[in-house]
Amino acid sequence: MDELELLKRDWKKKEHQMPKLGYDEIYKMIWKKSSSIVKWIFLISIIEFLLPHLLYLLPAMSKTIAIWKGLGLGNFLLVSNIVQYSVVLFFIFQFYKRYKEISSLDNARQLLSNILKTRRTVKYYVIFCLSLIFISYIVMAAGIYLSDNPLDAMGYNYNLDNADPTKVKTTMIATVLLLGTIVTAVMGCIYFLLYGILLKKLNKNYKELKSMEF
């Protein structure tokens, strides 16, 4: 006898061994909160959209804005903010559009593909933000390079009369660039770790379905 037929026969018998829930038990369940991956992706994405903007509310960030203005980079800050908010609006619109397309009534492949696409929108957004952060550090380094007295311009009143001004400048530029690299790398690592954990199962199953098409 075919092994699978044996399994099928036994599988049918199991109908009677399955647990049975009553009407009230099922009724209660329909009002419970879902803990599906889509809900998690939605919440985490919203946090990721908001996070870069919440950073501006920190006192340290306000001080940074003063430094930018001191270095004569106020215009860059303004332009980059306009670009950033336009891009944010575009991404939120894309994200919402794709999120709305997710339906458990699609076939498994379509559903997986729609969820991964939605998440990819957020991924591009995060890459954009990380690039912007990194670029702003580079621009700040350039501002220091072009400034005659960067320490004063940034509002620091250190007495460095004996120090070689070129050395001070080089140290400042190196520090800013190093800090920029570290901040971008750390934020990038945290993000991609989260991204990987969230989508591990989905990616695996989507790859499996795709590999069936040859």
Contacts of 77 (CB under 8 A, 6+ apart): 65, 68, 69
How many chain residues are in contact with other proteins, going by CB under 8 A?
49
Shortest Cβ distance from residue 46 to other proteins (Å)?
Answer: 17
Shortest Cβ distance from residue 122 to other proteins (Å)?
Answer: 17
Q: Is 60 in the site for other proteins (CB under 8 A)?
A: no
Pick out residues in 183-202 that bind other proteins (CB under 8 A). Answer: 201-202
Cβ-contact 164, 132 below 8 angstroms: no
Shortest Cβ distance from residue 59 to other proteins (Å)?
Answer: 37
Q: Is 152 in the site for other proteins (CB under 8 A)?
A: no
Cβ-contact 71, 153 below 8 angstroms: yes
Shortest Cβ distance from residue 92 to other proteins (Å)?
Answer: 23
Shortest Cβ distance from residue 132 to other proteins (Å)?
Answer: 31
Of 53 and 201, the one with the shorter C-beta distance to other proteins is 201
Q: Which two tokens stand for residue 213?
A: 């098409």
Cβ-contact 111, 165 below 8 angstroms: no
Cβ-contact 80, 136 below 8 angstroms: yes
Residue choice 69, 87, 94, 109 for contact with other proteins (CB under 8 A): 109
Q: Which two tokens stand for residue 117?
A: 């696409």
* Three-state secondary structure call for residue 159: coil
Region near other proteins per CB under 8 A, out of 61-69, 106-114, 127-135, 169-177 = 106-114
Helical segments of the chain, H only = 3-13, 23-29, 37-54, 59-70, 74-101, 108-146, 150-153, 165-211
What residues line the site for other proteins (CB under 8 A)? 3-4, 6-8, 10-11, 13-15, 17-23, 26-27, 29-30, 32-38, 40, 103-112, 115, 201-202, 204-205, 208-209, 212-214
